[in-house]
Amino acid sequence: MQASTARSDRKGSHVTNRLINPAHLAFPSGFSHGVLAGNVLYLGGQTAMDATGAIVPGGIVAQFRQCFQNVLDTVAEAGGTPDDLVSVTIYLTDVDDYQANGREIGRVWRELAGTRYPAMAGIGVTRLWQPEALIEIAGIAVIPGISAA
């Protein structure tokens, strides 16, 4: 489901935003999976929600796989590829657990997105919106040759 909205900036020009909400992801309520402004896709934070809105079981590696796949699905819905990611921020409730599983998480990344890595940050947090979520990924993609208009 995609919707376009236009708004005026201070100089009177119009900026068109297109909401990117892949139909096979959990239905967004109070958020959008992504917002395309020009050729820049701002990715809403993705947790490990499956299509029903439930957080997948199985620990940090399983949750990383699901939430990163949700990010990539949103990028694809906008017309992009993993190579279009320019910035990724990973929010973690247990940094030590993530680091202990770093090799497996890296393998999942390479399986899903290849070996080109964007600018990245990992940030420890006390909790996420869903109490059972261990990880949330947000990001920005620049998609050549596409526009929100």
pTM metric for this prediction: 0.88
Domains and CATH numbers, the chain: 22-139 (3.30.1330.40)
Q: Under 8 Å CB-to-CB from 30, ≥6 apart: which residues?
A: none
30-50 tens-digit pLDDT: 888 999 999 999 999 999 999
pLDDT, residue 142, reads: 97
Residues of the chain where predicted confidence (pLDDT) is lower than 70: 1-15, 148
Q: For 83, how many CA atoms within 13 A lie in the half-sphere containing its CB?
A: 2
pLDDT, residue 74, reads: 97
pLDDT, residue 147, reads: 75
Longest dimension (CA), the chain: 51
